[in-house]
Amino acid sequence: MTSFKGRYKNMGIKNSRLQGFFQLGPLERLEKVQAFDGLSDSDVNSLHGGAGGLSLERADKMIENVIGTYNLPLGIATNFRINGRDMLIPMVVEEPSIVAGASYAAKLIRAGGGFQTSSTDPLMIGQVQLVRVADPNNARAKILERKDELLSIANAQSRSLVRLGGGARDVEVNYFSTSPMGPMLVVHLIVDCRDAMGANAINSMCEAVAMLLEQITGGRAYLRILSNLSDRRLSRVRVVVPPSALERDGMTGEEVVDGILWAYSFAAVDPYRATTHNKGILNGIDPVLVATGNDWRAVESGAHAYASRNGRYTSLSVWERDEEGNLVGVLEMPLAVGIVGGATKVHPTAQAALKLLGVQHASDLAEICVAAGLANNLAAMRALACEGIQRGHMGLHARQIAMAAGATDSLVDELARRMVEERNIKPARAAELLAELQLQG
């Protein structure tokens, strides 16, 4: 695996530890973000939304039957240091505590040197399904004999990708002797996608080689499409957190490490827990994917499949204690992302988010994603082990309930404060408190 250290643009010496960032208003935060990375006014307008965001006209060209656009909050996770570089991470998400959790965990991880990341080559798999093949073993041999011809046809479909150093690299053949419909051969094209996610290029390549595969095997080609289990396109992150960084009132750092390791152990052995544990990892990854215009659904499907790669669904991350007593976490998973083509080149906010990150290659973005994923994983396990997840969510959830009850401006914070104090965060109580405050005011 290779690291993205030094592979993206020179961002100078920056510090993502923005003290008091959460206490600022949205426009003040935006000014801090602009100062951090020297974004243009146009970039800032795109991040801010409104007139600088996605226009109805542009949206109408992106998908079918457009009648409007839909806004979600865009937040900034602070404190990230990845391979020695300080970064601000844009995250688009509706769920409370995710941005705060990532920022807090990143601060803990800074105490151990930050995130260390790496990636494999961006190899993806395209599949061609062949049925009614009379002699599968002979057909397999014939396909491999003509591998160079198949690769040539595939690469003719994306000469620009080949010029950039990518393209179809290899051909593999798998035989399934039984299925609900009968036996089949499945041909894999192994494609280096460089900085693209690769779906369109791979699908075109599969379509192009299908006719020759039919001629070689005497079978019929049905499905010709990429696989979202991109298990040859992996990104990895490792963190070390000293116990001293995890100390809290009433608990030593060693006790917190114990609690986190018990939480991980639960996910390691129980698929019911592992599913929620892995959702916590994707809580950090998906918002970065959405912010940058990437296909979060493809990444999620690949992640869950990868979690089952050994025949049993388990935790994507691994946590342990090293010889010095430090908490050590590792996350390795498939991450097929792109920084060219698709929504990344169409959506103005996605373009601004990528500029803020300063990435030069798709692997850079993938490594940022796994760092955000492991940060959220740590934040969730720490909360579960130390105080229960609900307490961490309480304040933000109370504000949402207050707004849903009709509170505006300062009344939102007052209602939220009172409900948290009462530990009664319910719509009915919010309505009662709002009526009382309105009578008083």
The answer to whether the CB of 155 falls within 8 A of the CB of 148 is no
Structure-token pair, residue 427: 């719509």
Structure-token pair, residue 430: 């919010």
Q: Spot the catalytic one: 95, 207, 247, 254.
A: 95
The answer to whether the CB of 313 falls within 8 A of the CB of 271 is yes
CA angle 29, 105, 92 (to 5 degrees): 50
Is 279 catalytic? The answer is yes
What is the distance between the alpha carbons of residues 383 and 324, in angstroms, rounded to a whole number?
23
Is 32 catalytic? The answer is no
Is 48 catalytic? The answer is no
Structure-token pair, residue 241: 């957190």
Q: Spot the catalytic one: 192, 286, 295, 332.
A: 295
What is the distance between the alpha carbons of residues 135 and 68, in angstroms, rounded to a whole number?
54
What is the distance between the alpha carbons of residues 43 and 31, in angstroms, rounded to a whole number?
12
CA dihedral sign, ordered 265, 268, 273, 279: positive
- Nearest 10 degrees: CA dihedral of 337, 343, 348, 351? 20
Q: For 327-375, give the DSSP string.
A: EEEEEEEE----SSSGGGGT-HHHHHHHHHHT-SSHHHHHHHHHHHHHH
Provide the residue type at 106 as one letter.
A
Q: Which long-range contacts (CB under 8 A, 24 or more apart) does 429-432 make?
A: 430/401, 430/402, 430/404, 430/405, 431/405, 431/406
Is 393 catalytic? The answer is yes
Q: Spot the catalytic one: 277, 347, 355, 393.
A: 393
Q: Which residues pair with 328 in a beta bridge?
A: 240, 320
Within 10 angstroms of residue 97's Cβ, the number of other Cβ atoms is 21
Q: Which residues pair with 184 in a beta bridge?
A: 131, 176
Provide the residue type at 204 as one letter.
S
> Which active-site residues does the annotation give?
95, 279, 295, 393
